[in-house]
Amino acid sequence: MENQKPIIATASLAGCFGCHMSLLDIDDRILNLIELVEFDKSPINDLKKFTRHCDIGIIEGGCCNSENIHMLKEFRKNCRILISVGECAIMGGLPALRNGIPIRECIEEAYWQSPSVKGHNPEMILPNDQELPMLLDRIYHCHEIVKIDYFLPGCPPRADLLYDALVSIITGTEMKLPYEVIKFD
């Protein structure tokens, strides 16, 4: 029976880990969840790579660089059901405030102009290590890149919404959606 438990993987792309925090906010129900599922690649257990095919993938955050896109595609390949969690994954969220501002302008502001760096970077160095992932021209939300099966809005999504969604998918029951759980902030 043990290996028949559904397997969950999670990732935070261009997000703040708030949605993962909200997942932990289900409090003692996390013990029920552990009964129901196993975790694979996730920051929660610090597994860096997929070890097997997963049933549910939870994506927090949109895509701001090439590494995010790579990771998202990996998740799509390795997960049967993919869920966009939180405003950043659904519509870009706060990182998407830079959409419309040229990338050069963003980088110069971050490394040359903003009050905390002005005068502290006399050689005008911009990060250029080849190991660094390339920034994208704008933020792409997840369903622009791959097919997403479900969306859970919120900033972060309420713990009850996350828990109920997972339980509904795992047990195959219809989800209750009380008014208080669907919020965009």
Cβ 49 to other proteins shortest distance, Å: 29
Q: How many residues bind other proteins (CB under 8 A)?
A: 27
- Write the binding mask 81 to 110 for other proteins: x where contact by CB under 8 A, - elsewhere: ---x--x--xxxxx-xx-xx----------
Sole window of 24-32, 36-44, 121-129, 172-180 interacting with other proteins (rule: CB under 8 A):
172-180
Residue 90 CB, shortest distance to other proteins, in Å, is: 5
Query: What are the DSSP E strand ranges found in the chain?
Result: 7-12, 38-39, 54-60, 63-65, 79-85, 135-140, 150-152
- Find the angle CA(101)-CA(104)-CA(110) to the nearest 5 degrees: 90
Shortest Å, Cβ 153 to other proteins: 6
Nearest to other proteins of 123, 185 (CB atom)? 185
* Residue 182: CB minimum distance to other proteins, A: 5
List the beta bridge partners of residue 65.
135
Binding other proteins by CB under 8 A: which of 5, 29, 76, 143?
Answer: 143
Enter the DSSP assignment of 40.
Answer: -
| Strand bridging mode 38-39 / 63-65 | unpaired
Contact 86, 153 (CB under 8 A): yes
The answer to whether residues 60 and 10 touch, using CB atoms and an 8 Å cutoff, is yes
Which positions touch other proteins (CB under 8 A)? 84, 87, 90-94, 96-97, 99-100, 138, 141, 143-144, 150-153, 155, 177, 179-180, 182-185
